[in-house]
Amino acid sequence: MGRMERQTAAFPRLQHLNIRRCPKLKELSEQLLRVKRVELHSCERLSISGYDIETTPLERIEHSISSTSLRIGDCPNMSIPLGCCYDFLETLGIYGGCDSLTNIPLDFFPRLSLLQLCSCCNVQMISQEHTHNNFKHLYISGSPQFESFPSEGLSTPSIVKFSLEKLENLKLLPKGMHILLPSLTELEIIDCPQEEMFCDGGLPSNIKSVRSLKFETYCLIKRGLGSQRLSTNLSIVRVDVESFSGEGFLPLSYFSANR
């Protein structure tokens, strides 16, 4: 039994593994990746269990990871081999690193509830063929290559929060949001300079909270809302207008503007 295995056996009730700033670390044992929550940060040489992604059978890689929560930060050699079904994973956060990852196929993560992608330099899209009823929160930030959602729309009927920030290439929000995202209540669109916004149909009727960095973006959101009104919260940051005019332009219930 190797050193890593002996240490794992010494902590049979271990549930949370957090490894940070270990620049020489190359691999972790399979046992250490089977705890409930795994967080890996600033481990530049670390890859999944030391496997060669191109030559190791996907089944072996899949069974080596069984955490319900996986968070990866600044680990450029880490990857999530596509082709496996990660039906145990409920939370996935990538905060820089995973440089080989260009696509997030939701079908490989059927139980995923929360997805956070921050500073992922090569991720370009989220793809999907099947409806995902467990998915509730999406946050994408500082990923300059991200440009598209599934071509037929993001079919996640349970999603409640949708947050996009600093996405230089994103032009359109998902198609059919008013139909496919009936549970959506919170929408954040911050510093997405290319966005043309809505393909069709506008926004779901349950939207209660909108946060935008620019007044121009809010105007587009308002168009997507149509005649419906926000019921709780509107926040517009960095306002550069002299007045808010027009009947019904602002919601009656709550407004905060931060200069």
* pLDDT tens figures, 207-249: 888 777 665 666 666 666 655 555 556 665 555 555 555 544 5
Q: What integer is the mean pLDDT of 69-80?
A: 84
Query: Which residue has better confidence, 34 or 195?
Result: 34
Residue 114, H or E segment: strand 114-118
Secondary structure string (H, E, C) spanning the chain: CCHHHHHHHHCCCCCEEEEECCCCCCCCCCHHHHCCEEEEECCCCCCHHHCCCCCCCHHHHHHHCCCCEEEEEEECCCCCCECECCCCCCEEEEEEECCCCCEEEHHHCCCCCEEEEECCCCCCEEECCCCCCCCCEEEEECCCCCCECCCCCCCCCCCCEEEEECCCCCCECCCCHHHHCCCCCEEEEECCCCCCECCCCCCCCCCCEEEECCHHHHHHHHHHHCCCCCCCEEEEECCCCCCCCCCCCCCCCCCEEEC
Query: Which residue has better confidence, 165 or 198?
Result: 165
pLDDT bin (cut points 50, 70, 90) of residue 201 is: low
Task: Decide if pLDDT at 134 tops 50.
Answer: yes
Q: What pLDDT score does 258 carry?
A: 43
Q: How far apart are CA 190 and CA 249, in angstroms?
A: 20
Q: Please tell me the pTM assigned to this model.
A: 0.76
CATH number (3.30.420, 3.30.1490, 3.80.10, 1.10.3470) of 15-258 reads 3.80.10
Q: What is the pLDDT of residues 18-52, one digit of tens each?
A: 889 998 888 776 666 667 888 888 888 887 644 44
Cα separations in angstroms, 226 against 97, 178, 199: 40, 11, 14
Q: How far apart are CA 101 and CA 93, in angstroms?
A: 13
Q: What integer is the mean pLDDT of 102-121?
A: 93
Mean pLDDT of the chain: 76
Task: Decide if pLDDT at 63 tops 80.
Answer: no
Q: What pLDDT score does 196 carry?
A: 60
Q: What pLDDT score does 112 carry?
A: 94
- The whole-angstrom distance between residue 7's C-alpha and the CA centroid of its chain comes to 33
